[in-house]
Amino acid sequence: MIWYPYEQMKTMKQPYKIVDAKGVYLYTEDQKLIDSVSSWWCMIHGYKHPELTEAIKTQADHFSHVMLGGLTHDPVLKLSEKLESFLPGDLDYCFFSDSGSVAVEVALKMALQFNTNRGSNRDTVLALEHAYHGDTFKAMEVGDDEDYHFAFEEKKGVVHIPTEISALEDAFHKYHDKLTCFIVEPLLQGAGGMRMYDISFLQRARELCDQYDVLLIFDEVATGFGRTGYRFVADEVLPDILVLGKALTGGYIGHAVTVANHKVFNGFYSDDDRHALMHGPTFMGNALACAVALKSIELFERDNYMEKIKNIESIMRREMDGFTDPRIKEVRIMGGCVCIEVYDSADIEGFQDFAYRRGVFSRPFLKYMYAMVPYIIQEKELVQILDTMKAWFFN
Ligand SMILES: *Cc1c(COP(=O)(O)O)cnc(C)c1O
């Protein structure tokens, strides 16, 4: 029997059973649904994309996987080379892993050991309130979402601040000689409730990190590949470590990467074996994942996805313009993400089934009804999603 995620199994509603998927559509036995969630935000090119499927098949004809311990292969070499040129600044060193949470763990380990290797005893991580960085233990500690992690309350060596410049400056003044790193989901905090904040906060964070020699980590597992309307937020403000996951493979196979700049890499590069990074997931650099990631990035550039995302954002703004309801606290839009936050979670209970009947798959949580659409979505499909969200409140 399957143990489903984030569910009280005793009261869980039956999941919809998917029998096929193509483009933006999921198919059940009796319904065709636009996936407004992009399978947890990763499926940016939609399902059954012929070129992505082909990339996997072609690689599978050679080999599906070999370990990266003592071995290497073309797909992983090509992907790391591609990322080196595709990503901004001197973010050039790619450490692969099998999921976003693990890639965050790797980023935090890098930051902690970077300091140990240079003989510093700094041990504290600065993070944001309402942060979500994954479900593994250290990722949970730097996270701040009691709705996910309330069962593990104890926080060691992590300071959480709101996304306000004054709080940021206070934290640096108070803790700078203890801080190894500052980790953020830049501009858009996803699982914490699609919270959006201003780039000036990140610009100030970069200055303070430089001033006090603290590493800046961008967890772009969710925001990477255009979700905020920027290709990467790292294009605007350059972090020392960048974490990518979710859309890295176009959503076709779970894979992630922690990308370090030269400063971080050089902190490990020495004649001392004990300065090496001791981490190595079994499936890191998986050949199928690397092959499909390469093809995904090729499509992203070739088919001008940034233009598609701009268009999605402008349709969302047009359709949601002036839309209000007494139950709604705020409507937020950024890039390929729209969120309606209500005052009371009871006000969106039942929305999932309502949307299902209207041909939309949605997965609202807590007080948030949202869409993170596949970028290949057509205008009428996007309007159908937005109309469904609005119709709930007219109901
Ligand atoms: C989803 C997510 C993660 C975790 O990724 P997994 O692949 O689910 O482990 C980490 N950080 C952010 C910002 C995410 O949205």
Instruction: Read off the pLDDT of residues 240-282 as tens digits, 9 standing for 90 and up.
Output: 999 999 999 999 999 999 999 999 999 999 999 999 999 999 9
Which atom of ligand 1 is nearest the CA belonging to 191?
Answer: 15
The pLDDT of residue 151: 42
Q: How far is the CA of 184 from the centre of ligand 1 (A)?
A: 12
Q: Which atom of ligand 1 lies nearest, measured to the CA of 104?
A: 10
CA of 130 to the centre of ligand 1 (A): 14
Ligand 1 centroid to Cα of residue 113, in Å, is: 22
- The finding on whether 107 has its CB within 6 A of some atom of ligand 1 is no
CB 145 near ligand 1, within 6 Å: no
Among 70-84, 139-153, 330-344, where is mean pLDDT lowest? 139-153
Whether 132 lines ligand 1, by a CB cut-off of 6 Å, is yes
224 lines ligand 1 (CB under 6 A): no
pLDDT of residue 155: 59
- Answer whether 67's CB lies under 8 Å from 58's CB: no
Which distant-in-sequence residues (6+ apart) come within 8 Å of 309 by Cβ? 226, 227, 229, 335, 336, 375
Rg (the chain; Cα; Å): 21
Check pLDDT > 60 for residue 227: yes
Q: What is the mean pLDDT of residues 122-143?
A: 96
Question: Which residue's CA is the nearest one to ligand 1's atom 8?
Answer: 100
- In this prediction, residue 131 carries a pLDDT of 97
How many C-beta neighbours within 10 Å does residue 290 have?
28
Say which residue, 156 or 36, is predicted with more confidence: 36
